[in-house]
Amino acid sequence: MTRAFFLLAGLLLGGVEAQAAQVVLPPDERPPVDLDQELTAPWQAGGALVVFAGADGRPRAGRLPAPPADAAEERARRLEHFTLALKVNLVTTAGVGPPNALPLTSEQVALLARFALTDAGAVWFREVADDTLRLFNKGYLAYDETLWADRRDAGVAARLSELLTGGLSEAGLFAQDASRFRIYAHDGRGAMAAHSSIRLGLQGIRCQFTFSDELVDPYAVLSHEFGHTRYGDARSAGTVLGEAVTVARYENPVRIRNGYPPRTVYYLHLDARTPVQPRDTLLQRLLAQWRAGRIDLASIAPIERLYCECNEPGPVIRECNSGPPSHAECSLRWLAVRVETVVNDDALVP
């Protein structure tokens, strides 16, 4: 690693292109993670990260293409990725991060650290690290300039995770494309995701899913949420089909790998406080039928069953596959959605 760094730095300072030194810079765009394919690969963390001096003497970062020599080297790469994420992406201090972001607890950070060392976690945190490389090479991330100068003058390799301060540079503060992926806490239970973030509930992750009583694999839940982000398919978040497809593509492969049975039905909770996504045409059709008082399950597949919360006089959960029950005041609360084992690439297109 150190020898490669010296060779790389010398070549670049001599004006030779990075390709000649066999360093690989992350592409500007990358296709969504194919988790099944990634998990069959012999290694998941990607090439070793190296920091080198550009033609202007300022640091840049890339990867060497060689596979790890052994499991210990692969583990070291995974650790470096998580160390980078801890500094750049994880919100651990109040007042830092997106609006309303709460700091992660030490238990949540520990869960993420363990996940980053698994095969699936290594894939996702590799993607996060590549985002950091892109931002760093654009000059958007602040770094310790004194440490860099000392290491460069002494001819000692510097790790990217020790160079970065964790904040944006002045250029990054005003750049429109300096979008950092963030992981932070929220005041609730479970996990949620959006295009550029994952939120972990301060009340933790249940041991069993609320409705089905299936055992929860926390690592599979984390992989599911990563699947909703820009590293998977951000269109999938918050829609009926999107959730079922995400279970198939990004959750079940982890469950199976960890000895849990795959989920064949996803139970989507309809929270009265959550607005319906306008692009979720399947849910829109269901709600239109619900308001009309008659449900045609065949026309809203893969939704298989509906469950209502009824006041009789206390709250009771009942099947309501035909439509609103006539004998009690009921609200539609749960959808049982079939999870397909083979997912069509166009499954998320409305």
Question: What is the per-residue pLDDT across 217-238, written as a single tens digit (0 to 9) for each?
Answer: 999 999 999 999 999 998 888 7
Burial (CB < 10 A; 0-12, 13-18, 19+), residue 128, is: buried
Give residue 251's identity as a one-letter amino acid code.
E
Q: Residue 79 and residue 130: Cα distance in Å, rounded?
A: 14
Three-class secondary structure of residue 7 per DSSP: helix
State which residues of the chain have pLDDT below 70: 1-21, 272-278, 342-350
Contacts made by residues 308-312, CB under 8 angstroms, sequence distance 24+: 308/332, 308/333, 309/333
Find out whether 221 and 251 touch, Cβ atoms under 8 Å: yes
Task: Give the residue extent of every domain in the chain.
Answer: 2-174, 267-350
Instruction: Note the pTM of the prediction, 2 decimals.
Output: 0.88
C-alpha of 307 from chain center: 30
- Name the H helices within 240-325: 240-246, 252-257, 281-292
The reported pLDDT for the residue numbered 349 is 43
CA separation for the pair 214, 209 (Å, rounded): 6
Rounded CA-CA distance 175/181 in Å is: 15
Distance, CA of 250 to CA of 267 (rounded, Å): 16
Nearest to 332 by CA among 267, 239, 277: 267
CB 158 within 8 A of CB 60: no
Distance CA 196, CA 52 (A): 28
**Which helix H or strand E contains 137, and what residues bound it?**
helix 119-137
CA dist., res. 137 & res. 25, Å (int): 9
Q: Residue 296's pLDDT is what?
A: 94
Do 267 and 335 contact (CB within 8 A), yes or no? yes
CA-closest candidate to residue 236, choices 338, 339, 348, 347: 348
CA distance 46 to 116: 13
* Spatial distance between the Cα atoms of 46 and 61, rounded to a whole number of angstroms: 14
Confidence at residue 9, expressed as pLDDT on a 0 to 100 scale: 39
- Provide the greatest CA pair distance for the chain: 82
β-pairing, 141-143 with 164-168?
antiparallel
Residue 142, CA atoms < 13 Å, CB-side half-sphere = 8
Phi, psi of 103 (to 5 degrees): -70, 145
